[in-house]
Amino acid sequence: MTPVPTITLNNGVEIPQVGFGVFQIAPDRTREATLTALQAGYRHIDTAQMYGNEKQVGEAVRAFGADRAEIFVTSKLNNGYHAYDDALGAFDGTLADLGFEYLDLFLIHWPLPAVGDFVETWRAMEEIYRSGRCRAVGVSNFQPHHLQRLLDETDTVPAINQIEVHPYLAQDEVRAFNAEHGIATEAWSPIAKGEVLDDETLVRIAGEVGRSAAQVALRWHIQRGDIVFPKSVTPRRVEENLAIFDFELSDAQMAQITGLDRGQRTGPDPDHFNMVP
């Protein structure tokens, strides 16, 4: 299998461009699913406090037996812990649940502007980064105006902005803002929870390149420079989602897929989402 390339973040840390997401995988299935992904060649795992399966991710990483430094692990701050001290304590809880001495990447999961001050939360993230227990910090679901506040009022540029991106939601404006400020873009829901897989354009291009529609969608992300972490608990699909580095889409095919953008979200709009569990 062709090795997974890495993206160099703005602090020099390297992250594999494809990872394995454990969103909506039940805790009692997460260890097995994560271990299957690691055995298939994934070296990047994306979890979150909200998912309730950090412990099982840590168990899988240890069971796999590789040097900890070989596995890049991301988690995200739960929405109920945006106050400065709460965020610091929540990070301690993540490390304890994972059973790690350090984390590779920690993100603010949602900006939640009507719930708390995400600038205060980001200052806690800066402290977490300075402590040396997290190799990089970033945000998730931030719009350009959210990011601009961080740039104006704090000292650390987020390493990553993890946002919903797929062929029906190209997010060119947010991605451009990220790129302008050295913030890497991670794409969650990269195949729109499967909604794009029957799209006639993707199906046609899949036939042209001899791949599945899912592989074509993921390859579109890769050639745009996004970091992706598709989720599946089916071993064949786990392997298929990683087999996207031995073919390329043409410029015309890339443009046709980008042209499918219809502003269609599968998840909440960050400007209006304020749910705290």
| pLDDT tens-digit series, residues 115-124 | 779 999 999 9
Higher local confidence (pLDDT), 272 or 228? 228
> Can you give the pLDDT at residue 199?
98
- Compute the average pLDDT of residues 52-75: 98
Residue 1, pLDDT score:
64
Please determine, for residue 114, whether its predicted confidence score (pLDDT) is greater than 80. no
Which pLDDT score, from 0 to 100, does residue 272 have?
A: 85
- Report percent pLDDT > 70 for the chain: 99
pLDDT at 232 over 90: no
Average pLDDT, integer, range 53-69: 97
> 37 with 11: CB under 8 angstroms?
no
Residue 59: pLDDT above 80? yes
Point out the least confidently predicted range of 42-56, 61-75, 104-118, 164-178.
104-118
pLDDT at 277 over 60: no
pLDDT recorded at residue 196: 96
Per-residue tokens: 47: 């979890």
The whole-model pTM stands at 0.96
Of the residues 51, 81, 129, 168, only one is catalytic, namely: 51
**Res 25: pLDDT:** 94
51 has catalytic annotation: yes
